[in-house]
Amino acid sequence: MIKKPTLKNNRFALSAVLIFAFCFSACNKDKPQATPAPAPAAKPAQPATAKPKPVQKQVSSASRPLAAPVNPFDFSNKKDPFKPFVAVKVAQKPTKEAAMKAERDALPIHSFDVNQFKLIGVVVSGRENKAMVTDPNGKGYVLKVGMLIGKNDGRIVSINSTGIDVLEQFKDDNGKIRKEHIKLTLPRKQ
């Protein structure tokens, strides 16, 4: 009985041929063998006149001066690990004058010139007189003597039935303090 060649038999035969070819290719005797590398030349011996290494001198601990005792807990020359890298500036408490000026600048009554205000009415009474003005935007303000008005902090000096007097103080180009009186009057009826 003749067996038919199967895939299993073909694989076995192929692998046997490959192993056989590999073994014989590795055994090539025609190659010259490599010669071993020559040994490095021996160093000439050191001459006998070499100096011996110096030996440390023995010193008695009694002859040494006493050093100051070292405090292991002295951190005066060390960097503070909790100090921030960036220096933080502490905000100084503003003076009353600076705080009042900042507050005044925030009010709309201090954002216009005194001449831009329009006097609407005056109330004359026994105790104190009051006046009402409007700014260019149409917003109304009630004023008393001593209040500040305008960009240059004009102080209201007097309020009477004809109008109000405002005193502005400012420095001119020469550095002298100049005073200017501004009078706001009621508009005439037509």
Whole-structure pTM value? 0.46
Tokens of 19: 């192993």
pLDDT tens digit at each of 190 positions of the chain: 555 656 566 777 778 777 877 766 655 555 555 555 565 655 555 555 667 777 777 766 666 666 677 788 887 888 888 887 787 777 777 777 777 677 666 778 888 889 999 999 999 888 889 999 999 999 999 999 999 898 888 899 999 988 999 999 888 888 888 899 999 998 887 6
Whether 61 is covered by a domain: the verdict is no
Residue 40 lies in a domain: no
3-state secondary structure of 128: coil
Q: Evaluate whether residue 69 is within a structural domain.
A: no
Burial class, 164, CB count within 10 angstroms (exposed 0-12 / middle 13-18 / buried 19+):
buried
| Domain span including residue 129 | 113-185
Count of the separate structural domains present in the chain:
1
CA triplet 54, 58, 59: central angle to 5 degrees? 135
In a domain? residue 120: yes
- Domain with residue 166: its CATH number is 2.30.30.830
| Cβ atoms 128, 145 nearer than 8 A | yes
- The verdict on residue 10 lying in a domain is no
